[in-house]
Amino acid sequence: MPFFNTVTIRTPESVELEFVLAGVGSRAVALTLDYLCLGSGLLGLAVIYSFLLVRLLAMDSVLSIPSETVQLWVTAIAAVLAFTLYIGYFALFETWWYGQTPGKRYAKIRVIRDDGQPERLPQATLRSLLRPIDDILFIGFFCILLSKTEKRVGDWLAGTLVVQNDAVASGEIQVPERSQAIGIDLLALVDITDLSPDDCATVREFLQRRSAMSPKAKILVSDQLARRFKAQLRLETLPTEMTTETFLEALYWAYQRQE
């Protein structure tokens, strides 16, 4: 079952690029986090504003300016700053970080242009300026939910898409020396091409994710995988005594070497 919508973009060079759209959930996550950041920024601004106002009004007699003028000026400056913060937060982050804000970075999504190019200042500003409209009565939410390309009003006008970030390979796998040696022994013993690239990917996934697994589950899964690959490689006896995890490390190493 496909859980995420995809979109295919054809570049001017006739290269087809496929992107996975961000999905309502990720966008909700990003929005929540960004509004939390922005909210604390605005709160800080409000605190500074009220502090300044009180202080300046107390200095009324020193400055020899009518207190109403001071009040108006400080309020006006604070309002402009609040607006700048609200618009600037999204516009500047999305420009500097090529379509990402702190929230989007956490949610692993990014804004791109309809032609697949990274988002720049004009698009970011337009999206940012139209954000209040999308927020009113959840218009943006319904647009994202109902449109095939998951665009809110700001996205339609700026000509942008929100897509999932390409997965960055999550860390190199450290294979201990002993496992490396066993892996080289294995290469001599079996035909490693009996393993498909998919199998290798499974082993890699396991090795990458094992540290997050509970100890009991780790043993269980490595046992299952090792048994299956041992049978698949028609390996009757192992070169030496080893744990199933070492065996999988060795397999992974051997597969990498063969390539």
Partner 1 sequence: MTPSAQQGNQLGPLNPGDVVSAALRLYKDRFKTFVQLAALATLWLVAGLAGMGMAIALLAGVGLGLGGDGGAIAGGLLGFLVGFAPLLYGSAKYYAISGVIGRLSFQDLINQPETSLEARRQVAPRLGQFLFLGFLLMLAYLAAYLVGALAALIAGGSVGFLTAGIFSALINEPVGAVIGIIFGGILGLGILLVALIWVASRLFIAEVVLAIEPRQDAGGSMSRSWELTQTAIMRIQIVFLATFLIQLPIVSVTNYIPSILLEFLPADGIVYGITTALSLLLSLVGSLVVLPLWQAVKGVLYYDLRSRREGLDLSLRQASDGEGV
Among 146, 171, 212, 236, binds partner 1 (CB under 8 A): 212
Q: Which is nearer to partner 1, 196 or 240 (CB)?
A: 196
Q: Which of 160, 51, 68 is nearest to 109 (CA)?
A: 160
> What dihedral angle (degrees, nearest 10) is formed by the CA atoms of 26, 27, 33, 37?
150
- Alpha-carbon distance 1 to 120, whole Å? 35
HEC readout, 117-147: CECCHHHHHHHHHHHHHHHHHHHHHHHHHHC
Q: Interface mask (CB under 8 A) for partner 1, residues 129-148, using x and -? A: ---------x--xx------
- Tokens linked to 180: 């490396």
Q: Which is nearer to partner 1, 4 or 96 (CB)?
A: 4
Q: Which of 239, 203, 195, 196 is nearest to 222 (CA)?
A: 203
From the CB of 242, what's the least distance to partner 1, in Å? 20
**Amino acid identity for residue 38 in this structure:** L
Among 10, 11, 17, 25, binds partner 1 (CB under 8 A): 25
From the CB of 109, what's the least distance to partner 1, in Å? 7
- By CB under 8 A, name the binding residues for partner 1: 1, 3-4, 20, 22-33, 106-109, 138, 141-142, 164, 167, 198-199, 201-202, 204-206, 209-210, 212-214, 217-218, 220-221, 224-225, 228, 231-232
